[in-house]
């Protein structure tokens, strides 16, 4: 996980690992580093299901400490006006 995080922080990276080997943690660590480096920037994490998005949101909050007020979860049910407001 450490070597993947170190590489992903510096360059575009596609991480393919079996279930349970730390993809969520790797993504959270990389997002946290960008959050620290660019506190006014935006990070977009896309997942195919709501449970995976919720898992990543929880990892960002609890595992790496991105404040809850700086995380927004958007789904297909979020109205365009609400998306614009949150963005």
Q: What is the pLDDT of residues 32-42, one digit of tens each?
A: 999 999 989 99
CA 3 to CA 39: how far, in whole Å?
24
Is-contact 60 66, C-beta < 8 A?
yes
CA 78 to CA 26: how far, in whole Å?
27
Q: Which contiguous run of DSSP H or E holds residue 36?
A: helix 23-37
The tokens for 70 are 């700086």
Q: What is the pLDDT of residues 37-70, one digit of tens each?
A: 998 999 888 888 989 889 999 999 998 999 999 9
Is the pLDDT at 87 greater than 90? The verdict is no
């Amino acid at each position: 996980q450490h070597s993947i995080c170190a590489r992903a922080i510096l360059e575009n990276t596609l991480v393919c690992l079996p279930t349970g080997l730390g993809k969520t943690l790797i993504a959270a660590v990389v997002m946290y580093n960008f959050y620290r480096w660019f506190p006014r920037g935006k990070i977009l994490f896309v997942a195919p299901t709501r449970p995976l998005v919720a898992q990543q949101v929880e990892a960002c909050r609890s595992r790496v400490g991105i404040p809850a007020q700086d995380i927004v979860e958007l789904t297909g049910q979020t109205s365009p006006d609400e998306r614009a407001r949150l963005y």
